[in-house]
């Protein structure tokens, strides 16, 4: 069991697949629960028209009560403008909620202010302060340069994401081109998360056509290679593709176990490097292998 957690910087949970569900579309709930997603994101933002925001907030607590007995994490995405966000937080800070996803985050100060509101609501509602996590979504060039500070702004932060569509619009680049302008920004996001000890969720590019699962597979595999550990999606058919792409393959697991056993045997004989299949196995390779083993345990 120790091997499962050792190399994840003390964190015991990361998410491979998170499925968006517009709060008012009740018929999606059963499907979402059975989709294989590790988390449901109950959306109060873009998928809810302005005129229906109050209705969605009123519905949230019933929905969370219905879902919280299941083995699935519950996230709520709130709106960015303060007047909407405060009302969203009033509705969303409830027992059973894993984290609040906050779009259009600008700075570390912005995160702190939101975290303070969550803290007050937790205290008033008998939830241990600090229980509910926060996902920060950065969506414009100015905030992008605050990524590192945002990632360490508050212990609630689970990870920081880039809002692909909005950022691409600001830059005037194609969000679905994984080799285009966003690639560097995506990798910087991985680095900022890793520096803060966080496990980044995201895709290297946006999925223009959610029915194109072949393309999703390629994008998700590329994202894993870049260091992302999971992705959000909007349709249940995307979930198995994402789960598979972000899980260690059988080949990776076998390789990792061989490396671990061989290296530990070599260490016991007093050497910190050994050869396997013509390649040198040393401490960084061992560390990478232990990471794969950790992911295999968590994702079984
Ligand atoms: O077979 P059934 O009739 O029982 O079920 C349908 C459908 O109801 C269900 N389904 C879902 N279930 C759970 N969660 C979902 N998100 C979801 N979407 C669909 O699956 C069965 C097949 O559905 P379908 O292929 O007929 O698809 P529809 O035409 O019904 O729906 C397509 C859209 C795109 C409208 C739907 O998937 C959706 O509303 N997705 C979520 C949209 C959303 O949350 N957007 C905001 C976040 S994305 C963002 O902001 C960009 C980052």
Kindly report, residue by residue over 113-143, the tens digit of the pLDDT. 999 999 999 999 999 999 999 999 999 999 9
**Residue 297: CB within 6 Å of ligand 1?**
no
Q: What is the pLDDT of residues 38-88, one digit of tens each?
A: 999 999 999 999 999 999 999 999 999 999 999 999 999 999 999 999 999
Confidence of residue 298 (pLDDT cuts 50, 70, 90): low
Check pLDDT > 50 for residue 16: yes
| Average of per-residue pLDDT values in the chain | 93
Over residues 235-278, the pLDDT tens digits come to: 999 999 999 999 999 999 999 999 999 999 999 999 999 999 99
Atom of ligand 1 nearest to the CA of 210: 34
For ligand 1, say whether the CB of 209 is within 6 Å of any of its atoms.
no
Query: pLDDT tier at 103 (50, 70, 90 boundaries)?
Result: very high
Compute, in angstroms, the gap from residue 212 CA to the centroid of ligand 1: 14
* Span of 8-17, 105-114, 120-129 with lowest mean pLDDT: 8-17
pLDDT above 50 (res 162): yes
Q: Pick the atom of ligand 1 nearest to 40's CA.
A: 14
Q: Compute the distance from residue 26 Cα to the ligand 1 centre, in Å.
A: 11
% the chain with pLDDT above 90: 89
Residue 4 has pLDDT above 90, yes or no: no
Minimum CA distance residue for ligand 1 atom 28: 235
To test the ligand 1 pocket, which listed residue (21, 25, 28, 52) has its Cβ within 8 A of the most ligand atoms? 28
Neighbours of 9 (CB within 10 A): 11
CB of 142 shorter than 6 A to ligand 1: no
Q: What is the pLDDT of residue 223?
A: 96
Q: Is 17 a pocket residue for ligand 1 (Cβ < 6 Å)?
A: no
Question: pLDDT, tens digit, for every residue of 168-212?
Answer: 999 999 998 888 889 999 999 999 999 999 999 999 998 878 999
Could you count the other beta carbons within 10 Å of the beta carbon of residue 48? Answer: 23
Q: How far is the CA of 204 from the centre of ligand 1 (A)?
A: 22
Predicted TM-score of the model (pTM) = 0.92
């Amino acid at each position: 069991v120790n091997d499962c957690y050792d190399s994840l910087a003390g964190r015991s949970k990361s998410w491979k697949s998170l499925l968006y569900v517009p709060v008012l579309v009740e018929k999606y709930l059963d499907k979402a629960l059975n989709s294989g997603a590790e988390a449901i994101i109950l959306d109060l933002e873009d998928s809810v028209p302005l005129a229906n925001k109050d209705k969605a907030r009123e519905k949230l607590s019933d929905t969370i009560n219905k879902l919280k007995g299941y083995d699935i994490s519950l996230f709520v995405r709130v709106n960015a403008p303060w007047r909407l966000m405060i009302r969203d937080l009033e509705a969303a800070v409830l027992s059973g909620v894993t984290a609040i996803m906050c779009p259009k985050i600008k700075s570390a100060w912005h995160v702190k202010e939101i975290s303070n509101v969550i803290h007050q609501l937790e205290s008033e509602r008998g939830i241990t302060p600090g229980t509910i996590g926060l996902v920060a979504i950065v969506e414009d060039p100015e905030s992008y340069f605050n990524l590192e500070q945002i990632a360490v702004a508050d212990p609630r932060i689970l990870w920081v994401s880039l809002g692909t569509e909005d950022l691409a619009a600001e830059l005037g680049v194609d969000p679905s081109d994984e080799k285009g302008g966003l690639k560097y920004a995506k990798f910087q996001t991985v680095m900022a998360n890793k520096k803060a000890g966080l496990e980044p969720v995201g895709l290297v590019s946006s999925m223009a056509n959610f029915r194109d699962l072949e393309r999703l597979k390629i994008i998700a595999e590329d994202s894993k290679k870049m260091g992302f550990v999971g992705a959000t999606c909007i349709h249940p058919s995307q979930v198995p593709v994402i789960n598979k792409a972000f899980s260690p393959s059988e080949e990776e697991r076998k390789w990792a176990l061989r490396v671990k056993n061989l290296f530990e045997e070599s260490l016991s004989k007093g050497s910190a490097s050994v050869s396997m299949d013509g390649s040198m196995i040393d401490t960084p390779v061992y560390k990478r292998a232990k990471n794969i083993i950790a992911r295999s345990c968590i994702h079984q």
